[in-house]
Structure 1
């Protein structure tokens, strides 16, 4: 079981900006429509510029589609950002991300700091509870950290147990754990998954 979508599912969005935009809008990550921030009137989406522009002739103000989202204040195209984030989630070496995404080392470093901060912020939300009667919740574990140079494939960091609802909302939780045993897993489930949920996990064989 994996939380990270396969390359077969996401790869087609890495090199097609229109497809990437459509995917992000359908997933609710980027807005499909917005009222004008200046006058509250209707707007039109200008895909080529990734911006909304007010339809009113007396206003015609424009504002970025990215504003207030994960993509705010970012310079890379949407598809390339997806590609970079996907490789990071798969714990690819930085050198591979630079090569495959064709992005400079400074830019990659900046994005990785941002992504790690997002994960850190999510881990602070310890009161997150997901699931409910009849709702499927997939639970998995991963190790958040970085590979140590010249030490093979060793990864240093913290183990994280996470869960995701198989619903349109796709609500999630992620918590760091000090022990990888059955008692710890059960405590995480009791704390973050509502009673009546249907739990899917392949972690039991390792606990």
Structure 2
């Protein structure tokens, strides 16, 4: 005689979002804060949205016995998400955040997602604290984690500017120093800047000094052969090929050729420094990551939120 069917609750699922998952196109994700709030209105809704967008794993295999773990409800202060992966064989448990960008945090998933969203919208830090209800220190920590994504992207994707029939403006500027003998003394940091006119793309590299020995190899690394190069009349640039310069002590545009100017790189400096001033107390220790953030934003001006989520998912592949 056949065994009678088992009674009771059905087994817990082995997934967060029902498979197959929909295709993901994060770089083109078009969502505003109201829409984001609607699709992440509950803890589980937020988990499902993150799983569908490959930001947390949708299924998990036990590392001890290789069985598919099951998603089970758990309550208590150490189960902030209310769910945990549990192996039906060895009873091993894993956080749903394991190996993800969100791992190790005691913030709710939606709070972290909101911090990422408002960082992408370039909201001032004090307003991010108000919108998310998170402490200043925690917001700063998470914004630094986001900048780490920018930094890794910039390292992995070295900027190449110019080429034939293209123009690159080059200049140097000093950041984070005291002006007009006002404020706390800071030594400051020299930055070599290169901007391609045709694409409005930039490459900013902190340098120890303004010597030709330092600057020329960096320019050769990031500016393609055949590029028309425009600079000021600093002597170190004279060795550059296909080079024109403007004497800023006399005029900002060459009176004999109105294409010879450095207006675009000067605008880049103004934009970058205005962001630094708005940060009110940026740390010297993180200066390089601030520069890398600026470059990342320059390259991802369209749909910044979707692009940041894409690179988070890329660098935290399961």
State the TM-score, normalizing by the size of structure 2: 0.41
**Aligned 8 A contact 2:124 2:278 in 1:** no
**Aligned 8 A contact 1:14 1:80 in 2:** no
Shift of 1:161: 1.4
**Aligned 8 A contact 1:50 1:66 in 2:** no
Alpha-carbon RMSD across the aligned residues, in angstroms, is: 3.5
Shift of 1:3: 6.6
Greater CA radius of gyration, 1 or 2? Answer: 2
- The correspondence for 1:55, drawn from 79, 88, 102, is 88
Task: Name the counterpart of 2:230.
Answer: none
Structure 2 CA distance for partners of 1:89 and 1:171, relative to 1, 3 Å: closer
The runs of 5 or more residues in structure 2 that have no matched partner are 1-27, 75-81, 159-198, 203-270, 281-289, 304-308, 312-318
Task: Name the counterpart of 1:89.
Answer: 120
1:138-161 deviation digits (Å, cap 9, x = unpaired): x9989889452499xxxx853421
State the TM-score, normalizing by the size of structure 1: 0.61
1:84-136 deviation digits (Å, cap 9, x = unpaired): 11001000011101111001111111111111111111222227xxxxxxxxx
> Where do 1:33-48 residues align within 5 Å?
33-48=59-74
The runs of 5 or more residues in structure 1 that have no matched partner are 128-138, 165-169, 173-207
Specify which structure has the higher proportion of strand.
1
**Aligned 8 A contact 1:14 1:82 in 2:** no
Shift of 1:67: 1.1
SS of the residue corresponding to residue 124 of structure 1 reads helix
- The correspondence for 1:99, drawn from 114, 120, 130, is 130
- The correspondence for 1:108, drawn from 125, 132, 139, is 139
